[in-house]
Amino acid sequence: MKVALIGVGNCSSAFIQGLSYYANLDRKENRIGLQNPFLGGMSPSDIHVVAAFDIDEDKVGKDLSEAIFSGLNNAPKVVDVSSTGVFVSKGPVMDGISKGIKNKIKVSDSADSNVSKVLKETEAEVVINLLPSGAVEASKWYAKQALDAGCGFVNATPCFIASDPSWVKRFEDLELPLAGDDLIDQVGSTALHKTLLSLLSNNGVKITETYQLDVGGGAESMDTHDRTRKVKRNIKTQSVASALPYKAEIVAGSTDYVDFLENKRDSYFWISGNYFCNSPMKIDLKVSTIDAPNAGSVLFDVTRAMKLAITKKLKGAIIPICVYAFKKTPQMKSNEKIKDSFEAFVKENS
């Protein structure tokens, strides 16, 4: 599976490190942390990154093995990554820099690369968009480059592409697969919140009010705080609400940026409801994670599932992949049906 990465930030760092970390799955203990060590007959070692794009002077022109530890990237280093032979190409700036990041990086003065040409020359099959949350125009521009190059497209950002019927039709017309929008974390606050609500509701508890507040450090959290806090709140709130068969007072979203947290994230949950004889119950919970690794396992699954879609010549938004791995999707499914739908898709197309 040949993959191109758009944005060489912390998520790309976790993805590239993960490919080295999980290169050998012969022993079961080597598979810890993977949702699906093998999927559709493929392991992570079948994923090959063939191209990458960024705008940061500290990354452009460097081998990916070096670029993922450069610039503002602060994802933990968990493994030594050998030289990949893939050098970061310069992409267009467009709206890729928020006001909070503007004075923290220097844009490379290299000429913008011909992205669709690079994708064709490297024979990339799928483009994974890992740009900052607020880079809406840049995300759409890269989606167009993927179309021009005949590649599938994975949108990990909250920009509406896979959930936009007009974009879905463009991929359908060119018979290319599309997945998105806004990647779900492996140990994510939204997934955990939805699971708790489903469990309680299925046990007869009537949820009346609930909120989820996320605080983080790192460039992505800064971008979210600067530009997409409202959009992310809407997406997360809608996603959480889908876990209940009735309406409740729900607020879910990123709330603040804390510099010293670096690539860590703290998520706070509060759930209020009533159970037997209208007795009150409340849950007050905090979860702490490292942000970047949360994308790794999910992206491994999405990438391999997209390979199945390409092999079977599926086109447009691939619904089982979208609902399995993303918050804002063309269709919403209950938690109980999501995994079954994805597993059925993999079995049917392997």
DSSP for 12-78, written as a single string: HHHHHHHHHHTS--SSGGGGTT-S-SSBTTB-GGG-EEEEEEE-BTTTTTSBHHHHTTSTT--PPP-
pLDDT at position 334, please? 65
Asked if the model's pLDDT at residue 284 lies above 80, the reply is yes
Distance of CA 189 to the CA centre of its chain: 14
| pLDDT, tens only, 28-83 | 999 999 999 999 999 999 999 999 999 999 999 999 999 999 999 999 999 999 99
Q: Give the residue range(s) of CATH 3.30.360.10 domains in the chain.
A: 189-290
Say what the pLDDT of residue 337 is. Answer: 82
Of the candidates 5, 342, 14, 19, the one whose C-alpha atom is nearest the C-alpha of residue 151 is: 5
User: Per-residue confidence at 7, pLDDT binned at 50, 70, 90?
Assistant: very high
Q: What is the mean pLDDT of residues 185-195?
A: 89
Per-residue pLDDT reduced to its tens digit, 226-251: 666 788 788 889 889 989 999 999 99
Residues in a beta bridge with 42: 39
Fold annotation for 189-290:
Dihydrodipicolinate Reductase; domain 2 (3.30.360)
Measured at the CA of 186, the angle between CA 154 and CA 93, to 5 degrees, comes to 40
The C-alpha atoms of residue 190 and residue 40 are separated, in whole angstroms, by 27
Q: Where in the chain is the domain with CATH 3.40.50.720?
A: 2-184+293-349
Instruction: Describe the chain by its helix, strand, coil percentages, rounded to 5.
Output: 40, 25, 35
Q: Report whether pLDDT(204) > 80.
A: yes
What SS3 class is residue 238? helix
What's the confidence (pLDDT) of residue 271? 98
Determine the average pLDDT of the residues in 271-283: 98
Q: Given 3.30.9.10, 2.30.30.90, 3.40.50.720, 3.30.1120.10, which CATH number is that of 2-184+293-349?
A: 3.40.50.720
Q: What letter would DSSP give residue 103?
A: T
Quickly list DSSP for 254-314.
EEEE-GGGTTEEEEEEEEEEEEGGGEEEEEEEEEEEETTHHHHHHHHHHHHHHHHHHHTT-
Name the pTM for this structure: 0.90
